[in-house]
Structure 1
């Protein structure tokens, strides 16, 4: 194994090939381009080099003995998560190269390759490595500074979200955050605010599902003294409190049409009118709204104003569910263990078997569910090491080990004999089953049902009404 004498600012590359002549000629070409190049004849040698750090890109052959390129790829990304990998393969093995890309390789190149093609692919790979390092640095520093645990993760989905978030934060554009419950939509909204020019001004959140329709207008827009029973003094609303900063409107699709029209006016005119007053008040507020529903379906079904949707949907940030970024589970779980240890006199550590166990789960409750599982395990486990049995998972959502990362979990079983179900139907059926099962366990104790499902009592009651669910032995109120 040969080392380059001086690291190059252009990047450090590791060439891995059991054919000495090809390895040497490839290294010579790359050195002539100004790169710092290391060589390894086997996968074992390559892993030793990677363990020392400092390698930006690995160019490895696919067919090698005793460790082949795919095995090396899997072990390499564990040793160096930021590493970019380009697979070298013969034309007949392209299928294997594509599989390598599915498992995390950046690119592949078929042998024999032309010098200019190699230079092009290597430069692209190093450019990606530099971008990834920059984004990873931002993610780490940002989470440490603001404690945004749900933004932990270096998967492609999270890097794309973070990159888009940083760009949109610089403007004053209205943002619509979409994602399932438990994915961290409010944390994304806080990140937008923290990286905007408004960061020194207030960030004011409001959850529309947690406030009754009669109080929501007063809560957001304020009211005059005597505007209604109990209004013993004038009060500024949350919109005015957010003046100069950011107003985060969570669960915006839970609002009534009358409220939606007033919110639309605020967006259009930049002013609010307190309940019981006729004089508008000018405000300078950036709106970030969020929903866990299919908002386009809500518009089509006439439950949400189309004009308000277009006003809110200037820039969309989609927060991926955890099942779409299961590669982030180990880092997230470790993060939550460290946080639990900071509050406990008996620190715990995750076992490899427990991580593998969690990686095979579809996480219908997303990051919030993982956080709860880790906190529960840390609190109840008797030993210092957290084992698979310390993480009780919901039935029917634990995926087979063979498809732990790439599988699509079977959460619901809709009738698809005549057509494929829509996303909204799948989500609705999943909600119906989850609530129905919780109702069977807790009966009329809706407080415990809401606590188990990690939703507010108001949200639970609205969902039950929409899904036509009744607690056992109870009446279904209107």
Structure 2
């Protein structure tokens, strides 16, 4: 089994031994050095996955080591010093240094850094074996391991699964993994409940009697999913009247079976996704409880990317590897750019991160990639009949007020449609308008 290596360069023997013990407990093979000469000799013949670097050494400054070795051949650099200075801190920022720590250290802080680096070398647990069904679910965070375990456990069953999480967390990817793990011979057919007009969605679910003039492809959604999986994406955006009809239909054991054809051994298996916590969606009356209980034999939450720690870096490496395979390149994440990745909250989750990687890969020369989020600017977001431009510093109350009025105006003061679009209840709309002393919204989004 491969084991990461840590080089601890410090002439304080007591500190070096203590740090070495922490590194050993984190899973590293440890090498101690007291001088630059010893460190240079070691790094010339051995890759170090973690270098713990003191600045004041008997034969010079530890920063000199960064000039003497090929950093591309080694791993992460952590500077530890008892004499911090503006000069050394400034230079550290410009080099591949992931931490700048000042003695005396909190052992827990140093342990977290070591475990973060060592996590990439941990063996895959049995629940994460590289089965084709889950090979696309990438990450080491405990929440993601739980998702993989749930996919492997529930995939081969007939249980309906409701996958839920913020937009961009990978709900469709997990649904595809559940279908792949099921071993079903039929395909997975996806219906986006938030994108299809209600009449088309009804035709897709209930056949031509729901809308005879709907395209034949919609009428055949259930037939195409026979023996496979029907995935209802954004189910919390389905109109409530269709939710009631679907919940009733799911009580029929023959739901999804074409009576005009011979029976098939495997009926349609249902998967669904919600971009809201189902409890919140039911409280806000955008998801009917009867449909929730019919769909969620298993409720599977997906974590936001900001909750997954080092998975940000793991995913970046995964996306770069896929792009390298596609374009025949050998690009990689630039040394020292991990800290910026970990600082950003990635509100768009994995989708935002993937877009940032692709943008950096395609637009920048050189093999070292610096991945940066692309923040919307005034030149990108222009206010129109269907959008609002907010300046930095606008209060949340004002943002809420303008969003409500603009949405009401867009839906011609239809409070039910407005509530559905904003993901709240109609009662909430009335309460907000009453709180603002507004009788109705004018066509331009202002108040009367």
Category of TM-score, reference length = shorter chain:
0.5 to 0.7
Distance 1:165 1:193 in 2: 9
Cα 1:350–1:172 shift into 2, 3 Å = same
Distance 1:234 1:377 in 2: 38
Is structure 2 residue 279 aligned with structure 1 residue 293?
no
Q: Secondary structure at the match of 1:316?
A: strand
* Deviation (angstroms), 1:266: 2.8
Q: Does 1:374 align with 2:380?
A: no
> Secondary structure of 1:287's partner?
strand
Q: Out of 153, 163, 167, which is 2:149 matched to?
A: 163
Deviation at 1:306, TM superposition (A): 1.4
Deviation at 1:220, TM superposition (A): 2.1
- Contact 1:289-1:312 at 8 Å conserved across structures: yes
Separation of aligned partners in 1, 2:379 and 2:253? 44
Higher helix share: 1
Asked if the contact 1:247/1:286 (under 8 Å) is kept, the reply is: yes
1:69 aligned partner = 21
Structure-1 residue corresponding to 2:160: 174
Q: Which residue of 2 aligns with 1:205?
A: 190
How far off its partner does 1:217 sit? 0.4
Q: Distance in 2 between matches of 1:370 and 1:232?
A: 36
**Higher relative contact order (CA closer than 8 Å, sequence separation 6+):** 2
Tell me how far 1:172 sits from its aligned partner. 0.8
The two structures have a TM-score, normalised by structure 2, of 0.59
Q: Please list the CA deviations of residues 431-473 of structure 1 after superposition, one character each: whole Å capped at 9, or x if unmatched.
A: xxxxxx8898222285999xxxxxxx9999964696989xxx9
In structure 2, the residue corresponding to 1:209 is in which secondary structure? coil
Distance in 1, Cα, partners of 2:140 & 2:300 = 17
User: SS of 2:276's equivalent?
Assistant: coil
**Does 2:354 match 1:362?**
no
1:223 aligns with 2:178: no
Match of 1:422 in 2: none
Q: Are 1:137 and 2:133 counterparts?
A: no
Q: 1:465 to 1:362 in 2, by over 3 A?
A: closer
Q: Distance in 1 between matches of 2:262 and 2:348?
A: 41
Secondary structure, in 3 states, of the residue corresponding to 1:167?
helix
Post-superposition offset of 1:236:
3.4
Helix, strand or coil: the match of 1:326? coil
Q: Tell me the residue number matched to 1:429.
A: none
Residues 379 and 231 (structure 1 numbering): CA distance in 2 closer, same or farther, change over 3 Å?
closer
Alignment partners' CA distance in 1, 2:217 and 2:368: 56
TM-score where L is the length of structure 1: 0.56
Contact 1:43/1:67 (CA < 8 Å) preserved in 2? no
Q: Deviations over 1:311-350 (max 9, x none)?
A: 2221111111111112111221011112223344665321
Aligned to 2:78: none
Contact 1:267 1:311 in 2 (8 A): yes
**Range that drifts further, 439-448 or 212-221:** 439-448
Aligned CA RMSD, in angstroms, stands at 4.6
> Alignment partner for residue 309 of structure 1, among 292, 297, 302?
292
Equivalences for residues 326-341 of structure 1 within 5 A? 326-341=309-324
Q: 1:362 to 1:73 in 2, by over 3 A?
A: farther
Gaps of 5+ in 2: 9-13, 30-47, 51-105, 117-121, 390-409, 412-416, 433-441
Distance 1:263 1:345, change over 3 A: same
CA separation in 2, counterparts of 1:288 and 1:239? 13
**Structure 1: segments with no counterpart, 5+ residues:** 1-11, 15-41, 46-61, 81-94, 106-128, 396-436, 450-456
Deviation at 1:360, TM superposition (A): 1.5
